[in-house]
Amino acid sequence: MEDGLRRAALELPECLHERLRYALVDNGFGYYHHIYLKLESSEQCMNSFLALNAMDGDLGATTLGGVAAERIPIYRSRWMDDDVVRRLGWQIGPEQRFQRFSVGKPTLYGVFVLVQHVPGSSDVRAYVHAGRGA
């Protein structure tokens, strides 16, 4: 995982390491990867992740805006329907609401983040996809 994160220039604050799940999918040439991360944390920790990676949200948001900012995505990116997403059990169905963030990294990786509040909890959950040229 560390090698994939380094190649994508993606940083994780220490507060995310405990509740992190991930998958790396090789592009077939052994160097670039598609990176899939599922993160759960407090809003403060997730905002640290967004800031560390210079993420921008829809309508220019740079931090989480609460449940009221979560929307059903207008379009579905191809990665949301990848087989690995289904195998990981991610809940990215057509009725799910998220706040969406993204950034293009100097390594030519595109990073997309969908964040939602966990029902019955003060925590948030994020689904992250990073891929070169994505």
Q: Each residue of 81-127: pLDDT tens digit?
A: 889 999 998 999 888 999 999 999 988 889 999 999 999 999 999 99
Residues 69-78: tens digit of each pLDDT: 999 988 888 8
What are the residues whose beta carbons fall under 8 Å from the beta carbon of 124, sequence distance 6 or more? 40, 41, 42, 43, 46, 64, 115, 116, 117, 118
Tell me the two tokens of residue 63: 């931090």
7-37 burial: b if 16+ Cβ within 10 Å, else e = bbebebbeebeeeeeebbeeeeeeebbbbbb
Q: What is the mean pLDDT of residues 1-22?
A: 90
User: How high does pLDDT run on average in the chain?
Assistant: 90
Domain membership of residue 116 (yes or no) is yes
What pTM did the predictor assign? 0.91
Domain membership of residue 108 (yes or no) is yes
Domain membership of residue 53 (yes or no) is yes
Count how many domains the chain has.
Answer: 1
Does position 55 have pLDDT exceeding 90, yes or no?
yes
Domain membership of residue 18 (yes or no) is no
**pLDDT of amino acid 103:** 94
Residues 33-45: tens digit of each pLDDT: 889 999 999 999 9
In sequence order, the β-bridge partners of residue 104 are 110
Q: Which residue has the tokens 């964040």?
A: 115
**pLDDT of amino acid 130:** 93
Domain membership of residue 97 (yes or no) is no
Q: How confident is the model at residue 134 (pLDDT cuts 50, 70, 90)?
A: low
**pLDDT of amino acid 51:** 97
Write the DSSP string, 70-94: -B--SS--GGGG-HHHHHHT----T
- Map residue 102 onto helix, strand or coil: strand
Domain membership of residue 16 (yes or no) is no
Domain membership of residue 41 (yes or no) is yes
Domain range for 124 is 30-69+103-130
**pLDDT of amino acid 65:** 93
Side chain identity, residue 86? R
Domain membership of residue 126 (yes or no) is yes
